Chain A
Amino acid sequence: MLYFSRWKIYMIVATCVAGFIVMLPNFLGRETLASLPGWYANSRVALGLDLRGGSHLLLEVDMATVIRDRVEGLVDGARQQLRTANVGYTAITPGDRGLTVQLRDTAQTDDAVKALRGLANPVGGVAMGGGQPDITVSTNGNTLTVTLSEVALRDRATQAIEQSIEIVRRRIDETGVNEPTIARQGADRILVQLPGVEDPDRVKRLLGTTAKMTFRLVDTNADPSTGRAPPGSEILPSTEGGRGQTAYVIRKKVEVDGATLKNATASTNSQSGEWVVNFEFNSAGANRFAEITKVNVGRPFAIVLDNKVISAPVIREPITGGRGQISGNFSAATANDLAVLLRAGALPAPLKVIEERTVGPDLGADSIRAGLTAVAVGFALVCVYMIASYGLFGAFACFALLINIVLTLATLSMLQATLTLPGIAGVLLTLGLAVDANILINERIREETKKGRGVYASMEAGFSRAYSTIVDSNLTTAIKMALLFIFGTGTIKGFAVTITLGILISMFTATVLVRLMMVTWLRQTRPAALPV
């Protein structure tokens, strides 16, 4: 154990030097970094939101709405299919995961089943060659039940969350936040991390809006104040405030969908000076818009956002250019937000913020300062103890400890891992756990010396006997931290990361590196007794 081949020595020294070089950019000033090549300057530890400041939001996609929308689509489809197939029915009732149809005539059951099967779309396993239909149709007398399959629901949910992530990303990009992280978490959640955002109010508002915009005709024959809408229409509240009606009767049929919008911008109207949102359709939307406005001149046309009427202007002339303007009750902020939402597109389902953790930048800076101080003080205390207890060998252990911190930082930089405040606590704790190896070794050497063994034999025995103990105790800690990493969330994971790295690295620094130092010292001084 005491022999080191030449190349092994080079390797050990090279590892330490490389570690130092890799972690160096963490401590360089902005100007120095700018003069370095990018790949090297970027070799830095990513700071967690709790240290750099920022906002962490956990969003939940409202899957109930997703499913309800799907069922509603199914009901519409069923109605159409049955009508096309000339099947008479008394009622179609939507259910939790499907619908039931009451047939007028049992003789038409087969026709009905065939018609309803036509609604099926293949889902799942398409890549594996041929999917399964997403619905099952069963009969019971004159009652037909259409049920969405488990796979279909899961598929729909996956689709909804992926779509949501895309929309969330676009909306956040619009707000100009630097380096946001947007990731799926679990079945129905989206994790959003916004570095540097101190007040996530606006982002929360933007993400909390579904922004489903539709252009629909106003049912002018009905009076909203009666509280009852004729079939095919619904009463929707207005956001116009005191300037218009408080509610409108709106046709359910969507004439033009907001999904066909190409662009939207906020500006002030040159005449009235009030804030408006200008929008532009893509070619399909523009054609449809032109068609509708041509045949409905003189009638009010409602712009509906998330089931609220923003405004319902009267069409004065056909609009063929595919451009338009919404003048609602806007302020600069709300007009801008609406433009952002329209540009980014509608969410497939409402999003809810279910967790927020925000740290201001100067609290983060305070935490970094406190963390660094704690590590420095901890290191100093441990060194004083080690040197007082073991003299030169204690000093070797301290140097190894320093290298341990350097290598931990280097590994964090290379892995682009995130350092959090608990992560700093992990570094601190590693100090104590890593010197355990040296204490074990030194105590063992001391014991062996006491038994009357010679210098080399004591050292040999000290290292080899202590080694299995060191492996055992470090592995148990690593198991714990793996569990914490798997089940912990957010910043606490950082604790598991630094401790695991620290103790793994200590297997190198506290044993191999210290051994090299001791052996080199031994060769050069050839002492008669060990200084333990």
Chain B
Amino acid sequence: MFRLRLVPDNTKIPFMNGRFAGLIMSAFLSIASIILFFHPGLNYGIDFRGGIVIEARTPQATDFASLRHTLTGLGMGQVALQEFGSNQDVLIRLERQPGDDAAQQAAADKVRATLAASIPGTQVRRVEAVGASVSGELFTNGMLALGLAMVAMLLYIWFRFEWQFGLGAVVTLLLDITKIVGFYAITGLQFNLVAVAAILTIMGYSINDKVVVYDRMRENLRVYKKMPLRDLIDLSINETLNRTVGTSMCTFLSVIPLALFGGEALQDFGIVLLLGVFIATTSSIFIAAPILLFLGENRLRRGAPETAATPATTP
């Protein structure tokens, strides 16, 4: 009977041999991401920065040059035009207008009126205008959600496993998230509420993945009382490898349609999730496990030095 196996059974890959390479690589990418976060920085969407986004559909192919000319003529700062979907669909972005929140509304109305006058028949399909006080709050709340999620995960894993597991998971999570943030910085994708949702989802997925591997390690810690931690970790990863790859594959497959035709808002979400699934899966193996090895060498396994001397019994 044919069975698709992405990973052959009974693999004995010595993952822990690559622990330094994995950690160094990850640290390098994360540090690079932090640098990217400060320079050039994130492309904050209007949720977090305030401003105006208008999605319009023109009756014929959009004449970008003349539209740009008309809108720039309104004197409302920089106007960014972006084609997406078809050549009749245009996304107009305006910076946050000087003045209070009401100024955004006035500006949005002005653009709407200008569009109607300069290109008759234009359909305004979406308008979002967010003022400074709202965007400030949304940003605070978004960051608060991310921070609290981190703390909640630490507590949860700590409660369910030993503290070494909790710390290992959260450090890994931090490394994962910095890379995602770095991806936002380097690609210039809009960083907005959807991005926060994406990061939270990836955090959830990543922790989920760690829990599965940790669970197996804990189980094996009870079963193989004398196996050195290093071998035990390798064994646990190998045993769960098929599941890890399988779940990643399924999540990947379910997110692909989102990245393909999710529309303006969800396309980015899908792309980031695809990357996130990859990062989360690899970090379980190359980051979370080595950290646990370093933290738990002498603690999770009492008297490890002596037992390590005896050859590992593989079942």
A266 contacts the other chain (CB 8 A):
no
Q: On chain B, which size bracket covers the interface? A: 35 or more
**A486 to B141 Cα, complex, angstroms:** 9
**Which one of A208, A363, A382, A499 has the highest number of Cβ atoms from chain B below 10 Å of its Cβ?**
A363
Chain B residues within 8 Å of A475, by CB: 156
Chain A residues within 8 Å of B208, by CB: 433, 436, 473-474, 476-477
Summarize A's interface: helix, strand, loop or mixed.
Answer: helix
B221 contacts the other chain (CB 8 A):
no
A446 to chain B, nearest CB (A): 8
**A385 to B246 Cα, complex, angstroms:** 9
Which stretch in B21-29, B31-39, B69-77, B101-109 binds the other chain? Answer: B101-109
Per-position contact with A for B178-219: 1 when CB-CB < 8 Å, else 0?
Answer: 000000000000000110110011011101110110010001
B266 contacts the other chain (CB 8 A):
yes
B3 contacts the other chain (CB 8 A):
yes
**A375 to B253 Cα, complex, angstroms:** 11
Q: Is B196 a contact partner of A488 (Cβ separation < 8 A)?
A: yes
* A378-B257 contact given A199-B112, A429-B251, A492-B194, CB 8 Å threshold: yes
Q: How many residues of A contact B (CB 8 A)?
A: 76
Chain A residues within 8 Å of B138, by CB: 489
A480 contacts the other chain (CB 8 A):
yes
Per-position contact with B for A157-201: 1 when CB-CB < 8 Å, else 0?
Answer: 000000000000000000000000000000000000000001101
Which residues of A352-391 are within 8 A (CB) of B?
352-360, 362-363, 366-367, 370, 373-375, 377-379, 381-382, 385-386, 388-391
Q: Is B247 a contact partner of A487 (Cβ separation < 8 A)?
A: no
Looking at the complex, which one of B3, B105, B250 makes contact with A356 (CB distance below 8 Å)?
Answer: B105
* A381-B149 contact given A199-B112, A487-B142, CB 8 Å threshold: no
**A489 to B139 Cα, complex, angstroms:** 11
Chain B residues within 8 Å of A490, by CB: 193
Chain A residues within 8 Å of B256, by CB: 377-378, 381
B127 to chain A, nearest CB (A): 4
B12 contacts the other chain (CB 8 A):
no
Per-position contact with B for A496-528: 1 when CB-CB < 8 Å, else 0?
Answer: 100100000000000000000000000000000
* A477-B129 contact given A360-B124, A425-B258, CB 8 Å threshold: no
Q: Is B247 a contact partner of A429 (Cβ separation < 8 A)?
A: no
Per-position contact with A for B120-136: 1 when CB-CB < 8 Å, else 0?
Answer: 00011111111101100
A122 contacts the other chain (CB 8 A):
no
Q: Is B254 a contact partner of A381 (Cβ separation < 8 A)?
A: yes
Per-position contact with A for B27-69: 1 when CB-CB < 8 Å, else 0?
Answer: 0000000000000000000000000000100000000000000
Q: Is B243 a contact partner of A439 (Cβ separation < 8 A)?
A: yes
B162 contacts the other chain (CB 8 A):
no
A11 to chain B, nearest CB (A): 28
A486 to chain B, nearest CB (A): 7
**A481 to B207 Cα, complex, angstroms:** 13
Q: Is B200 a contact partner of A480 (Cβ separation < 8 A)?
A: yes
Shortest Cβ distance from A503 into B: residue = B204
Q: Is B250 a contact partner of A431 (Cβ separation < 8 A)?
A: yes
Q: Is A422 a contact partner of B197 (Cβ separation < 8 A)?
A: yes
Q: Is A488 a contact partner of B145 (Cβ separation < 8 A)?
A: yes
**A366 to B263 Cα, complex, angstroms:** 9
A354-B104, A356-B105 known; 20 new pairs, CB 8 Å cut-off, are A356-B130, A363-B55, A367-B263, A377-B256, A381-B253, A389-B3, A389-B246, A421-B266, A428-B255, A429-B251, A431-B254, A432-B250, A436-B243, A436-B251, A476-B204, A476-B207, A480-B152, A488-B145, A489-B138, A495-B197
Give 9 closest A-B pairs by Cβ, nearest first.
A432-B251, A354-B101, A487-B145, A374-B257, A432-B254, A381-B253, A388-B4, A473-B208, A363-B125
